[in-house]
Amino acid sequence: MKGFLVSLFVISSAFAAKPKPWIYFDLGDTIVDTSDMSKIKYFQGAKEYLEGLRDLGINVAIMTNIPVSWGNSQGEKLQSLKVFISQRWVDSVPFDWSIFQQVLLPETQAEMKPGEGMYLKALARGAPCPIGFVSENVKEVTVAYNLGFAAHLFVNDVKRYKPLDEIVDFLKNDFQGNWDPECFDD
């Protein structure tokens, strides 16, 4: 029986998920166009870009501010966010929440970006792999960079997202912490 359990452990360890890098995106004005809050839609190419990251083996996540009054738990707040988006969604394709491995929302007013609270949670979640952050907000990108993220400023119609064929190098070279090389093993 002992040999069976050891064999089972070795087999299950071989199938354990390998760590993967993360990229956190601000939601409004980075993934979706909220210039008219009554008519929310994807920025052109955003959905395809996020799917491309996922296909590269990168965990894709949202880190966004919402009113803390939207719920008493992450689950309640996420549901409120989903309702808010769906009631204003005008794109021809629905917003695809399944792309995201995590949606990080503030627990308190103090956790709101550009405060460090959500960034520190993202860094803890992403370890031991590189973590990126993308936002249209200079202060948010600066905080992310100063905390060690591979940080990118989204500028609509100028430089939206890092090209997919450059994303691995961006994470490897711009993330300022230590990371496990296994994060990029195929």
State which residues of the chain have pLDDT below 50. Answer: 4-15
Query: For the chain, how are helix, strand and coil distributed in percent, rounded to 5?
Result: 45, 15, 40
pLDDT at res. 16 = 60
93-108 pLDDT, tens digit each: 999 999 999 999 999 9
Could you tell me if 130 and 175 are in contact, meaning their C-beta atoms sit under 8 angstroms apart?
yes
pTM (two decimals): 0.90
- Domain at 18-184, CATH class: alpha beta
Cα–Cα distance measured from residue 115 to residue 104, given in angstroms and rounded to the nearest whole number: 14
> Residue 103: CB partners within 8 Å, gap ≥ 6?
61, 62, 64, 74, 78, 81, 97
